[in-house]
Structure 1
Amino acid sequence: MNRKIIFLLVLGLIFSGCKKEEKIATNNNKLKVSVTLLPYADFVNRIGGKFVEVNTLVPPGASHESYEPEPLKLIELGKSDAYLLTGSIWEFENTLTGKIRSGNEKLTFIDLSKGIKLNGNNPHVWLGIKEVKIISENIYDYLISKMPEEKEYFLSNKNKFIAQLDSADNYIKDIVEQMDNKAMLVYHPAWGYFADEYGLDEIAIEKNGNHPKASDLAKLIDKAKALKIKTIFMEKQFDSSPAKTIADEIGAKIELIDPVPPDFIKNLYDIAEKLKRSGN
């Protein structure tokens, strides 16, 4: 059956039992929220703790650039108290929410990018620590608006998370300060917010969602040689063949990094260690 037809049929089923599900969520004393990406589930769980239940649309290992949500994920979305959005700049989410909004007037949509200074058309706001702090404040504001009696609990969790972010931030700064070469050659241009915070120069292999042409690869190889780049940072959700071509030509190694980690803090330290041993 055509995927669009399936999608529309699912949308028709998503919200038929909303009132019943809202009562169940209330009885369990938990807010049921949906997010698009794993890092956002991590943020919500860290702050909401025992008072939240999170449905994540894009599963581990899937590309957040091209994934089509499974029907069951959409059904879970329909049972949610709110959909906590990555932000209006992301085309994937805009397309998805446009269809969902027309099918359900009761589902609340919260834009977690509110207050973030956007970097051009780059939607990957969750990869910058400064931006994640703002996202955390927006999550906190939503939670206390729904459960004001648990304000101190949410505040304590948020402050703990902010402290963990600050510790990771200082650790990364110390490592980057010791790097002679601040060029960060990556496959997918997701790291602009991260790179800006630490004075790194993000150089992306992919262009406009497509593999580079042969002429572009040649230019990248020349540039990488000129910059004496020794490491290429490859996102595991994408085809690594172009990165391998460049690595072979310049004698560089490939390090896998995750732009949509299930554990954000752990991922920051993982990236830091890979920057440390990059040789750049």
Structure 2
Amino acid sequence: MKLFHYLSIIVFMVGVLLTSCVGNVPQKRIVTVTVLPQKYFAEKIAGDKFEINCVVPNGSNPEAYDPSPSHLVYVGKSEAYFKIGHIGFEVAWLDKLLNNNPDMKLYDTSVGVKLLSGTHGHDDPEHVHSETFDPHIWSSPKQARIIARNMYNAFVELDPDNRKYYKKNYDLLLLEINRVDSVLTKKLEKVKGETFIIYHPSLSYLAHDYGLRQLSVEYNGKAPSAYYMKQVVDTARENDVKVIFIQKEFDVKQAETLAEELQCRVAQINPLNYNWSEELENIAYALTQE
């Protein structure tokens, strides 16, 4: 019995010691972003100094996403929020998130980007058009440079003592962004002036910056009318469209049906992919594939 008693005391003391040690482990400071490409940039710059929380998970539509309770907990613990600019989730939720965490600093990573509007291709008399800015600024390396610069400045403001650390990481990220820009410039020069179709217009900045034309199946955030679809088909035939991009978080059936009618290739892409560099190079390959 005495042996058992002593063993019990030892187990208890070890448990207390371990609990105490865990409790003294410093917790990383948290910064929250909206979409995964932002997380990619933020983690490259922040390194091991911050934990980067992303609200919209892979495969979800950031235009209409409702955050899970677990994500809201992390937002509540965040000392800063990096917004992408004008995406649906931020329009619907950001004020609420800031009200729930009034000490959280807000940084707009789209500052300095020349925002595009009216990227849906055609006017449709069956829908009332409202002028909105396109939020998909990460789809072009030329705009990604601006996002990265804004993030770097934000991290330095949050943690000025580690400025040199962030500058080194930021410079490495710029080298990667410049490499992707060079790859896209070389590849997409071959198809400059050509038109591609996509269900949701998430490649507007890529098309604008590399001399392509994006034709969207979705109109103004809604399923297209019969009138609009006729315009898409006519324009596609006039411009000899060769590829239709589909995204898993949006309706793919309509795009696949359209591809059959136009006899063109279908390529599945994920513009919200965390692996930003890899995804843009895959998109460029799909655009130039014979």
- TM-score, length-scaled by structure 1: 0.85
1:117 pairs, out of 114, 125, 128, with 114
Q: CA deviation at 1:190?
A: 1.5
- Secondary structure at 2:100's aligned position in 1? coil
Q: Could you say if the C-alpha distance between residues 84 and 180 of structure 1 is closer, same or farther in structure 2, counting changes exceeding 3 Å?
A: closer
Stretches of structure 2 lacking an aligned partner (at least 5 in a row): 1-22, 118-132
Corresponding residue number in structure 1 for 2:71: 73
2:228 pairs, out of 216, 226, 248, with 216
Q: CA deviation at 1:181?
A: 5.4
Q: CA deviation at 1:148?
A: 2.0
On the 8 A contact 1:25/1:32 being kept in 2, the answer is no
Matched, 1:154 2:151: no
- Secondary structure at 2:47's aligned position in 1? helix
Paired residues in the alignment total: 253
CA distance in 1 between counterparts of 2:24 and 2:84 reads 23
Q: Which amino acid aligns with 1:236?
A: K
CA distance in 1 between counterparts of 2:66 and 2:25 reads 30
Pair member with larger Rg:
2
The alignment-based identity, stated in percent, is: 31
On the 8 A contact 1:190/1:259 being kept in 2, the answer is yes
CA distance in 1 between counterparts of 2:84 and 2:168 reads 23
Matched, 1:51 2:63: no
Matched, 1:140 2:152: yes
Matched, 1:102 2:99: yes
Q: Which amino acid aligns with 2:59?
A: G
Stretches of structure 1 lacking an aligned partner (at least 5 in a row): 1-23
- Secondary structure at 1:60's aligned position in 2? coil
Matched, 1:195 2:207: yes
Q: Which amino acid aligns with 1:108?
A: K
Corresponding residue number in structure 2 for 1:60: 58
Q: CA deviation at 1:26?
A: 9.8
Q: Could you say if the C-alpha distance between residues 26 and 44 of structure 1 is closer, same or farther in structure 2, counting changes exceeding 3 Å?
A: farther
Q: Which amino acid aligns with 2:61?
A: S
CA distance in 2 between counterparts of 1:180 and 1:193 reads 14
- Secondary structure at 2:191's aligned position in 1? coil
CA distance in 1 between counterparts of 2:243 and 2:205 reads 20
On the 8 A contact 2:140/2:205 being kept in 1, the answer is yes
Q: Which amino acid aligns with 2:42?
A: V
Q: Could you say if the C-alpha distance between residues 180 and 110 of structure 1 is closer, same or farther in structure 2, counting changes exceeding 3 Å?
A: closer
Query: Per-residue displacement from partner, 1:17-38 (whole Å, max 9, x unpaired)?
Result: xxxxxxx99934x331111111
Corresponding residue number in structure 2 for 1:21: none
- Secondary structure at 2:267's aligned position in 1? strand
Corresponding residue number in structure 2 for 1:19: none
On the 8 A contact 1:217/1:246 being kept in 2, the answer is no
CA distance in 1 between counterparts of 2:209 and 2:179 reads 14
Tell me whether 146-155 or 46-55 shows the greater mean CA deviation: 146-155
- TM-score, length-scaled by structure 2: 0.82
Matched, 1:82 2:94: no
1:222-241 → structure 2 map (5 Å cutoff)? 222-241=234-253
Q: Which amino acid aligns with 2:34?
A: T
Matched, 1:170 2:182: yes
Moved segments of 4+, more than 4 Å: none
Q: CA deviation at 1:66?
A: 1.3
Q: Could you say if the C-alpha distance between residues 71 and 238 of structure 1 is closer, same or farther in structure 2, counting changes exceeding 3 Å?
A: same
On the 8 A contact 2:217/2:232 being kept in 1, the answer is yes
Matched, 1:127 2:139: yes
CA distance in 1 between counterparts of 2:115 and 2:177 reads 20
Query: Per-residue displacement from partner, 1:147-190 (whole Å, max 9, x unpaired)?
Result: 22222221111111111111111111111111265112111112
On the 8 A contact 2:29/2:79 being kept in 1, the answer is yes
* Cα RMSD for the two superposed structures: 1.8
On the 8 A contact 1:47/1:140 being kept in 2, the answer is yes
Q: Could you say if the C-alpha distance between residues 229 and 102 of structure 1 is closer, same or farther in structure 2, counting changes exceeding 3 Å?
A: same
Corresponding residue number in structure 2 for 1:275: 287
